[in-house]
Amino acid sequence: MKLKITITGPKVHDVGYRPWLTEKAVDLALRGFEVYNDAEGDLQSVVALVDSDKRRATQFFEFAKAELPPLARIDDIRSEPYDEEIQPLWQSATLGTFVQINKAVPILQEMREDLREVKTNTNLIPEIAENTRLIPEIAENTRLIPEIAENTRPIPEIAEKQDVIIDEIRGLHREMTFDAGWRARIESDIQAIKAKIGIR
């Protein structure tokens, strides 16, 4: 028995429909099988050509009606007799494998580049670990911030009194300088008196 099964809908291409149907054809050990993407007007379609005994051909059609790939969106599935030649299943499966491999190559190359980036990023983990080792110390230091703030609260008052303090220091300096001058003069006078009296 030969059937042409047509699946139509807004999204039946690039969702894995052909490998999905090919896998079922292999499971059922169909004699002949072909599957390809097509279109009917604005709708996408997938066409499966089946050559097998009536029981397995019917099972395949029932599977196609009941199951679909997760991302597929279909509107209609129909079956009609088909009288042209259909290639052997092994040949179709082999060709399908090559098609899937060709689709996979660019994806695998992109994944390889992504993995290189991941490896580069994971090489930074020891450096990150070293930097994060300081976090408990930083946390301890930040715990001291309120105490530091409390101790620095008098600083503005001290700054305001700075001029008064400087004036007081200058006054003390003058007094000390004056006292030192007087002391030197007194000592000089005492020495002069001792010299006149003859006391050493």
Beta strands in 58-176 (DSSP E): 76-81
* CA max distance for the chain: 156
Pairing of strands 76-81, 32-40: unpaired
Q: Among 51, 48, 23, 30, which Cα is nearest to 38's?
A: 48
End-to-end CA distance of the chain: 148
Q: 31, 37, 133, 183: which one is catalytic?
A: 37
**Is 151 part of the annotated catalytic residue set?**
no
Based on the number of CB atoms within 10 Å of its own CB, is 88 exposed (0-12), middle (13-18) or buried (19 or more)? Answer: middle
164-173 own/partner pairs: CB under 8 Å, 24+ apart: none
User: Quick check: is 174 catalytic?
Assistant: no
Query: Which residues on adjacent β-strands are paired with residue 47?
Result: 6, 36
What are the residues whose beta carbons fall under 8 Å from the beta carbon of 96, sequence distance 6 or more? 18, 19, 22, 35
Asked whether 68 and 17 are in contact (CB, 8 A), the reply is: yes
- Name the residues annotated as catalytic: 18, 37
